[in-house]
Amino acid sequence: MGEISIGKLLIVAVIFVLLFGTKKLRTLGSDLGCALRGFQNAVKEEPQVKTETVIDSQTTSKSVNDQ
């Protein structure tokens, strides 16, 4: 009863095409891909930003203690 077959997936795909049209779905797929790439780049860059922040705060605390 809860199985998803290829026939059911094709019916859902046809309904999406009828509702949104191929042009809208193509644009949606493109926008989703760009969003995922941006998210992946942000995740890759985030640890570098955190280490720089930690280094800056350690340097700041050392200079305050030296005075």
* pLDDT single digits (tens) 7-66: 999 999 999 889 988 888 889 889 999 999 999 988 887 555 455 555 555 555 554 555
What does the pLDDT read at residue 35? 93
CB atoms closer than 10 angstroms to residue 25: 14
CA distance 49 to 19: 43
The one-letter amino acid code at 54 reads V
Measure CA 24 to chain center: 20
**Measured on CA atoms in the order 39, 40, 45, 49, is the torsion positive or negative?**
positive
pTM metric for this prediction: 0.44
